[in-house]
Amino acid sequence: MNSGRFKGRVALVTGGSRGIGRAVAELLSQEGASVAVNYRARAEEAAAVVEAIRDQGRQAVAVKADVASRPEVDAMVEQACSALGPIDILVNNAGLLATGTLLQYEPDEFERMWRVNVNGVLHATAAVAPSMIEKKYGRIVNLSSIAALGTAVPETTLYAATKGAVQILTKRFALELGPHGITVNAVLPGLILTDMVSEGHTEEEMQRRIEAVSRKSLLGRVGEPGDIASVVAFLASDESGFMTGQFLTADGGRTDLLTHA
């Protein structure tokens, strides 16, 4: 149902051309927001999201930028604001997953993942914060992961480190921006069926992974992008106006956390 809870708001969704980002962009628009859909390389996919939003009678624009680059992010925010108006809602969704272990990982891959997953959150937040501070309003939602809580999934240690960094940035940005009426929260998804998690895996491998994770879930299933979009929308709305510096886990009730040991 279109509740209109984002009527008059402008949202920027990084990594918005597919997966969770696309689901978030489309849900925010369905509920009234104008949306800037960020992409790095998938121009056609971003254009399709924009077209879908416009078909609903909402405003949207595709904005290209590598979030690892502060100059590109600054230009992206300027373009989004010029097209739609000042950003009210920032969803830091863009991310990479590179696997590896302590004794076997690719330093270049880890550095790239850090620049996107961590520096990207810093760059985008710093770029939108001044206008949010000026109008004394803002909603910032970061996408972390239950990996940051310590899931017992092999070869995700370095990815978990980047998502742990996102969580401390969430807390610290909430501290810095709270006095200006800006909330900063994070969503921690479990396994969500997106292109990112299936890349490099055969259909058979993915099916085995889905079944294995489903057995570790209290709800007996893995997640869909819409499961996360709904949580993001709550944190982006005025309904969560008295929440900041918080982490909401959406993982179906996973039981494979190291903290359970």
Name the percent of the chain in helix, strand, coil, to the closest 5.
50, 15, 30
Q: How far apart are CA 260 and CA 77, in angstroms?
A: 42
Catalytic residue among 39, 105, 137, 159: 159
The conformation of residue 246, written as its DSSP 8-state character, comes to -
Cβ distance 89 to 139 under 8 Å?
A: yes
Q: Tell me how far apart the alpha carbons of residues 76 and 215 are, in angstroms, rounded to a whole number.
A: 42
Q: What is the DSSP letter of 217?
A: B
Q: Which of 26, 22, 19, 21 is nearest to 2 (CA)?
A: 26
Structure tokens that stand for 47 in this block: 């254009």
Q: What is the dihedral of CA 248, 67, 198, 190, to 10 degrees?
A: -10
Cα 182 to the chain's mean position, in Å?
18
Q: Is 163 helix (H, G, I), strand (E, B) or coil?
A: helix
Closest CA to 244 of 156, 145, 172, 165: 172
Buried b (16+ CB within 10 A) or exposed e, 213-240: beebbeeeebbebebbbebbbbbbbeeb
Question: In the annotation, is 137 catalytic?
Answer: no
Active-site amino acid positions: 159
